[in-house]
Amino acid sequence: MATKEIAGITVNVTEDGYLTDPSQWTREIAQAIAAEEGIALSDAHWKVIDFLKKDFASTGALASIRRINKTGGIPTKDFYTLFPDGPLKKAARIAGLPRPASCV
Amino acid sequence: MADEKIKKVSIVCSKGSLEGIYPALIMANGARMEGIEVNLFFTFFGMDAITKKKVKKIKVATVGNPAMGIPTLIGALPGMSAFATRMMQKKMDALDIPPIDEFIEMIGAAGGKLYACKATVDMFGLSKEDFVDEVESILTVGDFYALSAGGQIIFT
């Protein structure tokens, strides 16, 4: 396991940059990771991140794109626009959650 | 991992059974999830997946499918295919794999491009109106190759 300094805080990360301890996550860290991905977080982005975190806390798993749509109320098209080129991976990394582990 | 990332795939969906269609849709959706450009080309019975009247009636093949483990004569009994289809759909729903019509919508929303095959359209006497809204157009095989230039082609 590696550590990395993000937004002035040293956090534990996987090889591909996902936080391994959700308790180390802060909103500043999210902004810094988003910046690495070339994304400036807007309210619409935060709605996705907040849903992913809340859902992860209650289910123990990263929500699928279908669940983000049906339960989170974020249309799939908007989700792809907000986090271009690999939306679930990027959103999960920004939210300090594990890398997507499902095929859909 | 390979040095160079795949940037574009064109997937041909040629089979009309549930187990024939899903692999193409899962691969197409999975490609979009990785930021890969996707063209989905539906041909022969695979076209049922984008045909309004057929998409909700797609079934698992319980006959001529040795992997099912059901003897052919049993698989041919009335209701067997519907039963196997229901079982499979239930399992897929639990894994958040959507039904085919919703999956097609999802791939469209994800930016995947869907096309119908001209030869099959002519053979079945169909037109653009018979297809779900996500379908961009009807293509000849030549158009399909032109569209696939610079990417990988996957046949299912």
- Tell me, yes or no, if A76 comes closer than 8 A to chain B by beta carbon: yes
B98 secondary structure, DSSP code? P
> Which CATH number fits the domain B8-57+100-155, given the four candidates 3.20.20.70, 3.30.1330.10, 3.40.1260.10, 3.40.50.720?
3.40.1260.10
B89-147 residue pLDDT tens: 999 998 889 999 999 999 999 999 999 999 999 999 999 999 999 999 999 999 999 99
> In chain B, where are the structural domains located?
8-57+100-155
Considering CB atoms only, which of A65, A67, A86 is closest to B34? A86
Is the pLDDT score of B1 beyond 60?
Answer: no
Q: What is the pLDDT of residue B33?
A: 97
Q: Which of B1, B8, B33, B91 is best to mutate for the A interface (most A CBs within 10 A)?
A: B33
> Which residue bears the tokens 């795949």?
B6
How many beta-carbon pairs below 8 A join chains A and B?
Answer: 42
Model confidence band, residue A102 (pLDDT cutoffs 50, 70, 90): confident
A102, two tokens: 């499902």
Distance, CA of A59 to CA of B96 (rounded, Å): 14
Considering CB atoms only, which of B95, B98, B111 is closest to A80? B111
ipTM: 0.90
Q: Say whether A80 and B32 touch across the interface (CB within 8 A).
A: yes
**pTM of the model as a whole:** 0.92
B56, two tokens: 């909700």
Model confidence band, residue A9 (pLDDT cutoffs 50, 70, 90): confident
Distance, CA of B80 to CA of B147 (rounded, Å): 40
CA distances from residue A80 to A44, B40, B89, B109 in whole angstroms, order as listed: 12, 18, 26, 8
Q: Say whether B95 and A102 touch across the interface (CB within 8 A).
A: yes
Q: Which percentage of chain B shows pLDDT scores above 90?
A: 84
Query: B69 versus B103: which is more confidently predicted?
Result: B103
